[in-house]
Amino acid sequence: MVYSDEGKGPKRGNFVVVAIESPIGLQEQKEQACACEADVRRAPPQFVPHGDPAESWATEVALKQSTTCKGHSYFTRHVLFGLPDWIYKHHPQILEEMTRRVSDELSELFSSGLQIGGKTWSAALVGIKGDMKQIAEKIAYLTRYYAHLGRVNYIGVCAHCMAGTSPEVPFDELEHQPSWASTLHQVRPWASTPSLCTVPFDPVAPERVLKYDVFHCFKVGLGRDICGSLVLLARLGYYDDPAGSDVKNIKSRLNRCYQHFKLWRLAKGKTAALRYFSTGLFNLKRLTDFAWSNTKGSDTTLLLQYFVFFVSLLLQRPDLPRTHASLFRTLKKTIAEAQKAFEIMYSHGLWLRRACAQNLYLRWMSVLSGYRSLAQQSLGMGLTFFALKPKFHALHHVAFDIRQGLQGSGPLIANPIAWNCEMGEDD
pTM (two decimals)? 0.94
Q: Residues 333-343: what's their mean pLDDT?
A: 98
Q: Residues 284-295: what's their mean pLDDT?
A: 95
User: Given pLDDT bands bounded at 50, 70 and 90, which one contains residue 71?
Assistant: confident
Q: Residue 352 in contact with residue 364, Cβ under 8 Å?
A: no
- At residue 243, the pLDDT reads 81
User: Given pLDDT bands bounded at 50, 70 and 90, which one contains residue 369?
Assistant: very high
Residue 427 has pLDDT above 50, yes or no: no
User: Given pLDDT bands bounded at 50, 70 and 90, which one contains residue 151?
Assistant: low
pLDDT digits 0-9 by tens, 5-16: 988 877 778 899
Q: Residues 184-210: what's their mean pLDDT?
A: 96
HSE-up (13 A, CA, CB side) for residue 189? 32
Instruction: Please name which of 11, 118, 18, 12 lies closest in space to residue 427, comparing C-alpha atoms.
Output: 18
pLDDT digits 0-9 by tens, 370-417: 999 999 999 999 999 999 999 999 999 999 999 999 999 999 999 999
C-alpha 33/C-alpha 36 separation (Å) is 9
Q: Residues 254-270: what's their mean pLDDT?
A: 97
Burial of 415 (0-12, 13-18, 19+ CB in 10 A): buried
- Average pLDDT value for the chain: 94
pLDDT digits 0-9 by tens, 74-128: 888 999 999 999 999 899 999 999 999 999 999 999 999 999 999 999 999 999 9
DSSP bridge pairs for 414: 351
- At residue 426, the pLDDT reads 57
| Among 121-135, 136-150, 245-259, the least confident range | 136-150
* Domain segments of the chain as ranges: 1-22+71-114+122-139, 219-394
- At residue 320, the pLDDT reads 96
- At residue 285, the pLDDT reads 93
Q: Residue 100 in contact with residue 81, Cβ under 8 Å?
A: no
**3-class SS at 351?**
strand
